[in-house]
Amino acid sequence: MSRPVVDLAMRKATKQIMVGKVPVGGGAPITVQSMTTTKTADVEGTLAQIYALYAAGADIVRCTCNDLEAAEGLAQIVPRSPVPIVADIHFHYEMALAALEAGVACLRLNPGNLRKPEEIKLVASEAKDRGVPIRIGVNAGSLHPELYKKYGNATPEAMVESALRELALFGEVGFDDVKISVKASNVPLMIESYRALSEAVNYPLHLGVTEAGPPPSGIVKATAGIATLLAEGIGDTIRYSLTADPVEEARAGRQLLEALGLRERKGLDLIACPSCGRAEIDVIALAKEAQRRLEETGYPIQVAVMGCVVNGPGEAREADLGIAGGKHKGHLFIRGKIVRVVKEEEMIDALLSEAEKLMEEGVEARLAAADPNAEAEARADREALFELRGQDANLSSQKIERIRKRLGGTE
Q: What share of the chain is helix, strand, coil (3-state, %, to 5)?
A: 45, 20, 35
Which residue lies nearer to ligand SF4 by CB, 99 or 279? 279
- 344 near ligand SF4, judged by CB under 6 A: no
Task: Report the nearest approach of ligand SF4 to the CB of residue 357 (Å).
Answer: 24
Q: How far apart are CA 307 and CA 320, in angstroms?
A: 17
Which one of 110, 193, 275, 302 is in contact with ligand SF4 (CB under 6 A)?
A: 275
Task: Report the nearest approach of ligand SF4 to the CB of residue 2 (Å).
Answer: 19
Task: Report the nearest approach of ligand SF4 to the CB of residue 211 (Å).
Answer: 36
- Whether the CB-CB separation of 25 and 16 falls below 8 Å is answered with yes
Which residue lies nearer to ligand SF4 by CB, 222 or 279? 279
The residue at minimum Cβ distance from ligand SF4 is 307
| Span interacting with ligand SF4, options 74-82, 85-93, 272-280, 360-368, rule CB under 6 A | 272-280
Task: Report the nearest approach of ligand SF4 to the CB of residue 363 (Å).
Answer: 22
Residue 169: C-alpha distances to residues 157, 201, 202, 253, 390 (Å): 18, 15, 17, 32, 72
Secondary structure letter of residue 374 according to DSSP: H
Which residue lies nearer to ligand SF4 by CB, 25 or 330? 330
Task: Report the nearest approach of ligand SF4 to the CB of residue 336 (Å).
Answer: 13
Question: What binding mask, one character per residue, do residues 276-315 give for ligand SF4 by CB under 6 A, x or -?
Answer: x-xx--------------------------xxx--xx--x
Q: How far apart are CA 364 and CA 128, in angstroms?
A: 53
Which residue lies nearer to ligand SF4 by CB, 142 or 311? 311
Q: How far apart are CA 6 and CA 64, in angstroms?
A: 39
Quick one: how far is CA 360 from the chain centroid? 27
6-35 residues in contact with ligand SF4 (CB under 6 A) are none
Q: How far apart are CA 411 and CA 405, in angstroms?
A: 8
Which residue lies nearer to ligand SF4 by CB, 107 or 304? 304
- 327 near ligand SF4, judged by CB under 6 A: no
Which residue lies nearer to ligand SF4 by CB, 171 or 314? 314
Which residue lies nearer to ligand SF4 by CB, 2 or 311? 311
- Whether the CB-CB separation of 169 and 142 falls below 8 Å is answered with no
- 273 near ligand SF4, judged by CB under 6 A: yes
Which one of 131, 174, 274, 372 is in contact with ligand SF4 (CB under 6 A)?
A: 274
Q: If DSSP codes are grouped into helix, strand and coil, which group holds residue 326?
A: coil
- H/E segment holding residue 339: strand 337-343
Nearest to 191, CA basis, from 144, 243, 234:
234
**DSSP letter string, 113-152:** T---HHHHHHHHHHHHHHT--EEEEEEGGG--HHHHHHHS
Size of the site for ligand SF4 (CB under 6 A): 12
Task: Report the nearest approach of ligand SF4 to the CB of residue 394 (Å).
Answer: 10
Secondary structure letter of residue 25 according to DSSP: S
Which residue lies nearer to ligand SF4 by CB, 137 or 307? 307
Q: How far apart are CA 196 and CA 15, in angstroms?
A: 17
Task: Report the nearest approach of ligand SF4 to the CB of residue 271 (Å).
Answer: 11
Which residue lies nearer to ligand SF4 by CB, 227 or 310? 310
| Span interacting with ligand SF4, options 32-40, 51-59, 274-282, 398-406, rule CB under 6 A | 274-282
The dihedral region occupied by 233, where left means phi > 0, alpha psi between -120 and 50, and beta the remainder, is left
Quick one: how far is CA 321 from the chain centroid? 23
Q: Which residues make up the interface to ligand SF4 (CB under 6 A)?
A: 273-276, 278-279, 306-308, 311-312, 315
